[in-house]
Structure 1
Amino acid sequence: MAAPSALAFDPWDPAFLADPYPAYAELRARGRVHYYEPTDQWLVPHHADVSALLRERRLGRTYQHRFTHEDFGRTAPPPEHEPFHVLNDHGMLDLEPPDHTRIRRLVSKAFTPRTVEQLKPYVRRLAGELVAGLVEAGGGDLLTDVAEPLPVAVIAEMLGIPESDRGQLRPWSADICGMYELSPSPETAEKAVRASVEFSDYLLELIAARRKEPGEDLISGLIAAHDEGDRLTEQEMISTAVLLLNAGHEATVNATVNGWWALFRNPGQLSALRADHSLIPSAIEELMRYDTPLQLFERWVLDEIEIDGTTIPRGAEIAMLFGSANHDPEVFEAPAALDLTRKDNPHISFSAGIHYCIGAPLARIELAASMSALLEQAPTLRAAADPERKPNFVIRGLEGLSVEVR
């Protein structure tokens, strides 16, 4: 196990954020697990280990179903952060069985494959309209003009949020997601708490309105979902709606801009895609692997485990490096190369195990719709300037992506 000072891993270094993949290669070469003192986490960089740990029941997204903060050797969050934690801790992403099992089962009754499939025409039409606007303007910011409005509108449409209210969703989401970065600042926490309160209050009113007049939307479906008399509580509905919005667009937005920036830097692959649109499904999987939107996924050690002879004690936190796992040469041939025809592509960008992304089918539909529309309507699309990368590590994306259509 390498000493912390010897690791190239530095999630606050702009050079690392610009391209973390060489550092990941060094981590993988040095061993299977590394203690990282600045965040008090155990870094796991190999695909086989990450894949196995995502299914490991001795780990958990929470520990509060088994331990108090004190019993687990952890400090309780500050009381002023409570609105964020109430919202976050009742979402199924941060729960373990039996609560996770119950909530996911109930949510799945509303968020069905049929529901997602029925959205396809709407997603394709909206993607076409957004791209048409970009083309008519001769270019613009791919992030704000296409990548962002598409998934936000789709999940808002699913939830039944009126168009007049949708402008608030992305700012709320961005402020809440700031808390998922490593060591968030007090200012970040304050913004997340405020957004949690405002978003929760808004959804309380929307849920009350849907109770009186149910519709065909997902909020109405969550209210109606039941199983042997079991129903979602009001807080679980609010937390689920926020989770579906946040997770339902953050990955898609960043996969879109990360993906197109990768294509612009690999003109041979872009030319092949423009010549053969049947590559779109495999291109989406490869772009998700190549520059992963979610770089890190954390789990608590509920019961002591051992990785490659190193004992990880109960109460520790493991940081599974998705970006590194997706570039592991033990699994992917020539992982540093972008290959849109890659056949064997078991990337873990949508996680695995019980926390596998429930919205993965919808994300793939959205990514395919925007890519198809851009290839068809903007065959000469190109980058107008090098983009600036967001100063984030966990959620990897760009500040914007300026493009031209000629």
Structure 2
Amino acid sequence: MRDEFPLIRHQPTDSYIVSRYEDVARAFKDPVFTTDNYDWQLEPVHGRTILQMSGREHAVRRALVAPAFRGTALQESFLPVIERNARQLVEGFGNSGRVDLVARFATRFPVNVVVDMLGLDQRDYDRFHRWYTAIIGFLGNLAQDPEVAEAGLRTREEFAAYLLPIIRERRAHPGGDLLSTLCAAEVDGTAMSDEDVKAFCSLLLTAGGETTDKAISSLFHNLLRHPDQLAAVREDRSLIARAFAETLRYTPPVHMIMRQVSEDVEIAGGTVPAGSTVTCLIGAAGRDERRYADPDTFDIFRSDLSATTAFSAAADHLSFALGRHFCVGALLAKAEVEVGVGLLLDALPDARLPEGFTARETGIFTRGLEELPVEFTPVG
């Protein structure tokens, strides 16, 4: 596709598909590629989120939420939450000598972190995990399975019934948690409504959870398949960030992101008519030999991917998008991955894949391992 058909009119998704790095990067940065498609793609389960906004409305909403996910706020408020949750899950592995890192760690860790960051009841971990699973299922339901669709729509109602009373309570009695911070945030006289806060928390649960969930298991699997790089990361934990950046390029958690063009656009040798949806293939763009040397090889030391800028809007991978809609939670994801993978390396010093194990990835919009069984020698 990248070589012969860089622009495809795809009838089943009623969209135009681009797969080259330069075209996907342009779709993320050029304002003519809007996020109007999120009105039908995300709003049914989340409500109206920051991703659907543009211009000053988007800039103000982003300014309201962004400070909580960077710098001092991230380090002082949320790093202890991240470390505590990762440690609790790792301690739960026991001494069986085998653990599925997808079921027992990756799918639980980021969701539990979000619940704790928001200052919600830890007894609701399982409820949030169920909501998270239902929303992810809805977003990837290209086959339009009615039961999957119904579960996603029902989750929006359940989540609102749960969270809106808590939001009102936090406005009256704020604490030191993220939910209180979002309720109190104000920029140029603008604050977030209860519905704004609820929609952002719903988005945080799924967007933050899904990316980190699949990235951790994929990263660990990539390292296990490349023992020399695993040994290097064990020796120098600062390389976890490089391994994360390379995983986002090589096996990205999000394989497709859609945009909608506001006018006729010339791209990839063709024309996309105004109002059309453009499907950007992140997974294909990350393997584009026009951009990366030896792109089908996992290499944390590659010179054409910078770990320094990988978690900013200047990133040279595409998993967090680019431009004005660059993922506001990128630094949170980086902190979760660095802490989580670091503790896994400590807890599983001789981690190895079971003999004969073949990894299986599933998913279309988002994609990751179904399971990741790891064998280890129990301590003590």
TM over 0.5: yes
Residues 244-281 of structure 1 deviation map (CA, whole Å, 9 limit, x = unaligned): 11111110000011222222333333233334434222
Picking from 349, 352, 356, the partner of 1:379 is: 349
Report which stretch shifted further, 48-57 or 338-347: 338-347
Residue 244 in structure 1 maps to residue 204 in structure 2: yes
CA contact (8 A) 1:63 1:302 kept: no
Picking from 229, 242, 261, the partner of 1:282 is: 242
- 1:320 counterpart SS class: strand
CA distance in 2, matches of 1:64, 1:138: 44
Corresponding residue for 1:158?
117
Gap change, CA 1:297 and 1:376, over 3 Å in 2 = same
CA distance in 2, matches of 1:97, 1:186: 35
- 1:30 counterpart SS class: coil
Residue 52 in structure 1 maps to residue 12 in structure 2: no
5+ long unaligned stretches in structure 1: 1-26, 66-76
Deviating beyond 6 angstroms after TM superposition, the runs of 4 or more aligned structure 1 residues are none
Shift of 1:86: 5.3
1:212 alignment partner AA: A
Report which stretch shifted further, 149-158 or 272-281: 272-281
Residues 34-75 of structure 1 deviation map (CA, whole Å, 9 limit, x = unaligned): 11122111111111111111011112111699xxxxxxxxxx
Corresponding residue for 1:142?
101
Corresponding residue for 1:71?
none
Gap change, CA 1:245 and 1:63, over 3 Å in 2 = closer
Gap change, CA 1:208 and 1:382, over 3 Å in 2 = same
- Summarize the alignment of residues 215-234 of structure 1 with structure 2, pairs less than 5 Å apart: 215-234=175-194
**Corresponding pairs, count:** 363
CA contact (8 A) 1:286 1:340 kept: yes
CA distance in 2, matches of 1:379, 1:242: 36
Corresponding residue for 1:393?
364
Corresponding residue for 1:196?
156
2:209 alignment partner AA: H
CA distance in 2, matches of 1:293, 1:176: 16
- 2:170 counterpart SS class: helix
Corresponding residue for 1:402?
373
Residue 99 in structure 1 maps to residue 57 in structure 2: yes
Report which stretch shifted further, 292-301 or 171-180: 171-180
CA distance in 2, matches of 1:148, 1:351: 22
Corresponding residue for 2:308?
none
Gap change, CA 1:386 and 1:185, over 3 Å in 2 = same
RMSD of Structure 2 on Structure 1 (CA) = 2.1
CA distance in 2, matches of 1:86, 1:97: 23
Residues 108-163 of structure 1 deviation map (CA, whole Å, 9 limit, x = unaligned): 24444322112223323432342233253322110122212221122111111111
Shift of 1:353: 1.0
TM score, norm. by length of structure 1: 0.84
Residue 356 in structure 1 maps to residue 326 in structure 2: yes
5+ long unaligned stretches in structure 2: 306-315
Shift of 1:209: 1.9
CA contact (8 A) 1:59 1:302 kept: yes
Corresponding residue for 1:208?
168
TM score, norm. by length of structure 2: 0.89
Gap change, CA 1:31 and 1:145, over 3 Å in 2 = same
Percent identity reads: 33
Residue 131 in structure 1 maps to residue 90 in structure 2: yes
